[in-house]
């Protein structure tokens, strides 16, 4: 306010007046300023910024690209939702506009047949990058792309400027995928080398399968597809891994594999009675001894007996396992076995030698680099050929060594061991009626399996009363060794089951004759003699039921004859005996079990 004569004081008192005074008080409307302050990226304007009293102003708040309004605070009117027009202004005021960066939601999902790896829901600021998400197809499916047409399974969305919602898409694979693979439905062990390959697949149907014991499938061929194909393993190695794969016209997918223990093959023997002891005919009458008489009736429960003698490979596998358990010793005092000495086993004050490892006739060596036992090789026919002894019967093994094998094999397979190796003499637990682990056959069980066909006691263990020359068994003729492979050094053993009617012995080019015992066991005459369970004792006339022999003794029974014995010892009734700690280049064993 001011007066028309320029005076500014609102109250005036004119003094010393000397003339007329005519003045007018002049008034102007109040104005107020509006100050806008910005926090973040954006603009805030007031129009007008200088406002007459009682008038209004338009406040415009605009975020920059990628930003959004966080808050608008008017010092007179408080929080505002967005751009606004003030109420009538009656005082100066301040407006503060705060902005924050825009955030977008990235949403990833997986369609049927797959999953996602990585965060599936993400909040990403404007212009920033998301985290990596990878589409992973389930077995039997394949990734076909994202719903926004991106084809790479692994994606990372960058410079994000909007919400993203996408789905990973999958389709049934044109390839057959192996979903599960189990040998014999997942059994841990078997005695049958013919194994069933149980499996399931997803994806497209297979047309062929391939199976092999080698991961590279060397030597294997594609076979027409079968839902439960069989596969026969060759050799006596105990731990067997089979590799398996499928294919169709679209191709093949990765192979699967499973492992199973192949225990020594066994044959069943039915319960029943037989006459034990030699006959009065042929070679029995001419070659038999008094220890084979008197003949007497024996009744046996059902049992199982090894189809073949235990091989070097099988003994190596079990020795390797036992070494890992710390079961092998160098002496009677419990010094851990470190190689280059004979092998002992058993508990304190009950240790015994099990293998004459130092003997040149022992066909087992130790591979220190790989910490495993391996069969040796020997030279023979034709033309100096190198023969592996893996499938030959183990020899130079004591009775204790045969028992240790039975116990350790049982332990490997999760069966109850039959012998108490921590007690002097390693006594046998009672046999049956419950099924248990492996053991040695009793002398009666051995003779029943070798000789008896339910009506006749055969003199030789291949259903014959004569030895049959060089085509039936491996023995010494009295003039020379049969030695089917023409080996140049002893022992002159052959692979177990050599006399099967298929093999031709290179030493003389002699075709073999199928030579199995009445229950289907091989080499019960010749090749290697065999330890039995019993202590030796003389026969009596009394009938017996499941005889175990005497409770004590000095010698254990040996049966069957060997590569270096005469025909008389290959007879099924022949009885020999040895101290249980003895080892020979002609002495091995086969196993038995109560079913």
| Cα 110 to Cα 117: distance, rounded to the nearest angstrom | 10
DSSP conformation letters of 493-549: ---TT--SSS-EETTTTEE----B-TTS-B-SSSSSEEEEEEEP----SS-EES---
| Cα 127 to Cα 41: distance, rounded to the nearest angstrom | 14
Please write the tens of the pLDDT for every residue from 163-219: 999 999 999 989 999 999 999 999 999 999 999 999 999 889 999 999 999 999 999
530, HSE (Cβ side, Cα atoms, 13 Å): 35
| Cα 455 to Cα 301: distance, rounded to the nearest angstrom | 17
CB atoms within 10 A of CB 469: 11
| Cα 595 to Cα 590: distance, rounded to the nearest angstrom | 16
CB atoms within 10 A of CB 202: 17
User: How high is the pLDDT of residue 7?
Assistant: 82
User: How high is the pLDDT of residue 389?
Assistant: 98
| Cα 177 to Cα 254: distance, rounded to the nearest angstrom | 8
Question: How would you label 352-372 residue by residue, b for 16+ Cβ within 10 Å and e otherwise?
Answer: bbbbbbebeebbbbbeeeeeb
Residues paired with residue 476 on neighbouring β-strands, in sequence order:
481
The beta-strand segments (E) located in 356-496 are 364-367, 372-375, 377-380, 385-388, 438-439
Please write the tens of the pLDDT for every residue from 356-402: 999 999 999 999 999 999 999 999 999 999 999 999 999 999 999 99
Q: Is the dihedral of CA 459, 465, 468, 469 positive or negative?
A: positive
Ranges of residues in the chain whose predicted pLDDT is under 50:
none
| Cα 85 to Cα 251: distance, rounded to the nearest angstrom | 72
- Cα-Cα-Cα-Cα dihedral of 577, 583, 585, 587, to 10°? 40
User: How high is the pLDDT of residue 433?
Assistant: 56
| Cα 506 to Cα 501: distance, rounded to the nearest angstrom | 14
Which tokens sit at 560? 């069957």
Rg (CA), the chain: 48
Maximum pairwise Cα distance, the chain? 183
Question: For residues 3 and 24, is the Cβ–Cβ distance under 8 A?
Answer: yes
Indicate the class that CATH gives domain 268-593: alpha beta
Domain 177-262, architecture per CATH: Sandwich (2.60)
Q: Is pTM, for the whole model, over 0.85?
A: no
User: How high is the pLDDT of residue 435?
Assistant: 66
With tokens 């490997």, the residue in question is 412
Q: What is the DSSP letter of 546?
A: S
């Amino acid at each position: 306010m001011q007066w028309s004569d320029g005076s500014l004081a609102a109250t005036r008192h004119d003094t010393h007046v000397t003339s007329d005074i005519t003045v007018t008080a002049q008034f102007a409307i109040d104005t107020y300023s509006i100050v806008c302050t910005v926090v973040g990226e954006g603009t805030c304007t007031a129009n007008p910024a200088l406002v007459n009293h009682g008038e209004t102003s338009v406040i415009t708040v605009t975020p920059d690209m990628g930003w959004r309004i966080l808050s608008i605070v008017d010092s007179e009117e408080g929080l505002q939702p967005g751009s606004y027009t003030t109420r009538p202004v009656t005082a100066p005021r301040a407006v503060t506009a705060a902005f924050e960066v825009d955030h977008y939601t990235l949403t990833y999902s997986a369609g049927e047949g797959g999953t996602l790896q990585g965060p599936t829901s993400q909040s990403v600021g404007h212009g920033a990058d998301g985290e990596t998400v990878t589409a992973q197809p389930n077995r039997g499916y394949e990734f076909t792309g994202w719903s926004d047409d991106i084809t790479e399974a692994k994606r990372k969305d960058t410079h994000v400027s909007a919400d993203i919602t996408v789905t990973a898409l999958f389709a049934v694979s044109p390839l057959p995928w192996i979903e599960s693979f189990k040998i014999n439905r997942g059994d841990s062990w078997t005695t049958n080398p013919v194994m069933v390959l149980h499996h399931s697949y997803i994806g497209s149907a297979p047309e062929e399968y391939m199976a092999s014991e080698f991961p590279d499938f060397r030597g294997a061929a594609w076979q027409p597809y079968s839902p439960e194909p069989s596969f026969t393993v060759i050799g006596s190695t105990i731990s067997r891994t089979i590799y398996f794969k499928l294919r169709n016209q679209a191709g093949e997918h990765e192979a699967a594999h499973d492992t199973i223990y192949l225990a020594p093959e066994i044959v069943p023997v039915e319960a029943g009675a037989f006459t034990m002891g030699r006959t009065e005919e042929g070679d029995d009458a001419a070659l038999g001894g008094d220890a084979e008489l008197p003949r007497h009736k024996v009744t046996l429960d059902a049992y199982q007996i090894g189809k073949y003698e235990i091989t070097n490979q099988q003994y190596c596998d079990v020795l390797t396992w036992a070494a890992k358990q710390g079961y092998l010793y160098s002496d009677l005092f419990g010094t851990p076995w470190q190689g280059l000495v004979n092998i002992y086993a058993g508990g304190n004050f009950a240790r015994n030698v099990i293998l004459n490892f130092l003997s040149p006739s022992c066909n087992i060596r130790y591979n220190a680099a790989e910490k495993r036992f391996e069969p040796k090789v020997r030279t023979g026919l034709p033309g100096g050929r190198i023969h592996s002894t893996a499938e030959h019967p183990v020899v130079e093994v004591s009775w204790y060594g045969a028992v240790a094998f039975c116990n350790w094999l049982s332990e490997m397979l999760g069966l109850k061991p039959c012998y108490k190796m921590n007690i002097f003499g390693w006594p046998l637990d009672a046999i049956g009626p419950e099924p248990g682990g492996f053991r040695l056959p009793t002398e009666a069980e051995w003779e029943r399996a070798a000789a008896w066909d339910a009506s006749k006691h055969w003199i030789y263990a291949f259903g014959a009363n004569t030895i049959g020359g060089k085509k039936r068994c491996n023995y010494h003729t009295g003039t020379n060794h049969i030695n089917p492979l023409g080996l140049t050094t002893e022992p002159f053993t052959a692979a177990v089951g050599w006399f099967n009617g298929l093999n031709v012995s290179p030493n003389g080019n002699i075709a073999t004759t199928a030579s199995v015992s009445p229950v289907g066991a091989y080499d019960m005459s010749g090749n290697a003699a065999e330890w039995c369970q019993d202590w030796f004792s003389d026969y009596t006339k009394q009938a017996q039921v499941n005889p175990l022999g005497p409770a004590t003794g000095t010698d254990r029974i040996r049966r069957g004859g060997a590569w270096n014995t005469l025909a008389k010892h290959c007879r099924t009734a022949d009885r020999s005996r040895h101290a249980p700690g003895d080892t020979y280049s002609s002495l091995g064993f086969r196993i038995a079990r109560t079913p």
